[in-house]
Structure 1
């Protein structure tokens, strides 16, 4: 059970706030001494979290739940019972005066959100490992260095940075109320970096869509120049809204905006939402036009054997489905957030956690681990390492010579 007694101690980051709350409580109690309850009553006090006023014997007092304790819902109330003899209820185990804060916690909701956070952490961790491996593979093989894979490398890097930032947030801020309440420069810088990392990942999805659309629509285009332009846009474009959002929150006089490591929703959230919505809208237009162009080209091509229009449509549909995670279009479903306590809220939270945290794994798998060019290079490298000639092994030399004869591309 959640309660507070006289021996309550809090982390140093909260001590200053508790001192201020104690002083405010003492002032309010002093002002209320002019009117005291008739008969026996329990004298008002500060229990370490909340202020309790003079309460008649046999009555249970109520107070709003503290808003600085993670997991507490401020719209709920705690209670403290005044016994019939004019003394506050004492906990049977500790023997100290006790305020009941059990009602401040929605245990079912807290457990559920804890599980959702674990899904985020697991997804971001797995995706980060997959993205790092994909980056290493694309960087290692020189034969894979082309305009398309260069853009994939930038996209993977933006996802990896975003995942690493979120893991830092879930590890260093979310489970530590003292850090949130202290509102230090470090956690605010992390929040600002998170806003940039989030926008950068969306911007690079837009760059992927713009690249594919340009190659299909434009007859003549310099891929090298296009990649340079997209690299500048991908890393530079998110800086302006992320900086604006951070400055607005840091300079706002309202503690709800500038405090608590910016962990709460903000009235300035539109600064981040607007570019994300624009990115999704443009990528949706790109995808529709890409499918249209693919269908046109596939239908115009020669038909072999029993090829039918339905197979052409399936080919275009398959290509479009592969582009959905690359362009981030699955996020088009997540803006429609149900209201709190809605029957679909839990399903929404779980789907959002899975799609957001495992996107890096999905993209790395589709466009690196399952890429035919990548698999061919890895296979050749593996064969080279396994069958390369060794000076002290005649058998290995013989096998290696046979392998070279069978595979002219062996190096």
Structure 2
């Protein structure tokens, strides 16, 4: 997932910057030599210090970088009229500096499009996740440790999607809110990132659960579920407990301004657990694949099955492994390859990133609920509705695969 202690202190951040700039401007104007001929006297307009300017000319100045949405590489203008008076805007009823050139309208339009993509994607995902939670809650017969882990994953994604919708509507689209830097928007930032981290931690729980059940067949599911709950909600809580106070008390005006919207040096606190969970999930994925392949190699030898059976079982294992990829969050490994600003691929990356990030909740709901064989069977029995019929021996993400135990001839099927 695009510079950033009390409410009084943070609210004075921008004001203190402007006070310093006004003092600097007054000092510069007082020290400057008297301008010959007819001119407009230098003035501080609240953002920028404009120098003495010859009548009939326009002064230019780099756009202020501390104003949200302004490009500091662009220039603002202030026109001095022929009579030696600064341009007076009749609509605003005051002398006027032209800051409209500070905004890259094409880039602004693109950013607004990206925000729209996020809003639509998160809305779709939120609806899908709420429906999924309703279905899994309704069918009591589906309750087990595996489904409970799924439901916690759904809940973390649903909360995160809702908070992103609030963030984009209440903060990102309101420059005045960003500049004011109220306490509530900083709290929203912290809560938002708590649930974002919980997405990763619960994806780690999914990977850990599958790995544990596959490798340790006789582990207590009750104990395992307790560990999952502690891990899934505890890691984000510990991380945010460190991140929030450290950034709040940093004393750095850049770090504590603009609703903490901009990434600062303390974001490493959030990045460490994310990288750790993705790394561990990669390890789990490869080990799950390794164990499955070992069992598949032993299967034909122990049971005398033919090549067709082996191929069919191998295909099932491959399908399950491929479905694990979005589950374990491996797509986030592409994040370090983000193009630099103004790179030819920047816009394409932003679009792909917005679509995949906002629709991940929908993908999770589809994989774990809407295409779950157990859920579909319950829905068919309950409501006599038509659903996509799955093959009798096909595997879903929640089931992963059916492999034969190899400890004795005629071994039973073991659900992983």
Q: TM-score, normalized by length of structure 1?
A: 0.83
Q: Is the 8 A contact 2:122 2:359 kept in 1?
A: yes
Residue 44 of structure 1 corresponds to 42
Q: For 2:163, which of 162, 165, 177 is the aligned residue?
A: 165
Residues 313 and 305 of structure 1, relative CA distance in 2, 3 Å threshold = closer
Aligned residue among 96, 111, 114 for 1:113: 111
SS at match of 2:218: coil
Q: Which residue of 1 aligns with 2:349?
A: 348
Q: Is the deviation greater in 52-61 or in 194-203? A: 52-61
* 1:203-238 residue CA offsets vs partner (Å, 9 max, x unmatched): 010011111111111242111210111111111111
8 Å CA contact 2:129–2:365 kept in 1: the answer is: yes
CA displacement 1:153-186 (0-9 Å, x = unmatched): 1111111111111111111111111211111111
Give per-residue Cα distances to partners, 1:72-122, cap 9 Å, x unaligned. Answer: 113322111324543334558778643221221111111111111111111
Q: Which residue of 2 aligns with 1:143?
A: 141
Shift of 1:47: 3.3
Aligned to 1:390: none
Moved more, 305-314 or 153-162: 305-314
Query: In 2, Cα distance between the equivalents of 1:245 and 1:340?
Result: 27
> Tell me, which stretches of 5 or more residues in structure 1 are unaligned?
1-12, 385-411
Match in the other structure for 1:152:
150
* In 1: Cα distance, 2:296 partner to 2:17 partner: 72
- Name the CA distance, whole Å, in 2 between partners of 1:218 and 1:331: 28
**Compared with structure 1, are the counterparts of its residues 343 and 20 closer, same or farther at alpha carbon in structure 2 (3 Å cutoff)?**
closer
> Quick one: which of 205, 208, 212 aligns to 1:207?
205
Q: What is the CA-CA distance between 1:310 and the residue it aligns to?
A: 5.3
Query: Which of the pair has the greater relative contact order for Cα pairs under 8 Å at 6+ separation?
Result: 2
Query: Does 2:44 match 1:29?
Result: no
* Paired position in structure 2 for 1:176: 174
Q: Write the distance in 2 (CA, Å) between the matches of 1:351 and 1:379.
A: 36
Once residues 318 and 290 of structure 1 are traced to their aligned partners in structure 2, the CA distance between those partners, rounded to angstroms, is 13
Between the aligned partners of 1:329 and 1:33, the Cα distance in structure 2 is 60
Corresponding residue number in structure 2 for 1:329:
330
Residue 375 to residue 246, structure 1, CA distance change in 2 (3 Å): same
- Match among 54, 59, 77 for residue 61 of structure 1: 59
| TM alignment of 1:262-411, pairs within 5 A | 262-302=260-300, 307=308, 311-383=312-384
SS of 2:340 mapped into structure 1: coil
SS at match of 1:256: coil
Q: What CA deviation, in whole Å up to 9, does each residue of 1:307-345 have, x standing for no partner?
A: 176555433321112111211111111231110001111
Distance of 2:337 and 2:324 partners within structure 1: 22
Number of the residue aligned with 1:250: 248
d(CA) in 1 for partners of 2:15, 2:231: 47
CA contact (8 A) 1:68 1:181 kept: no
- Aligned length in residues: 372
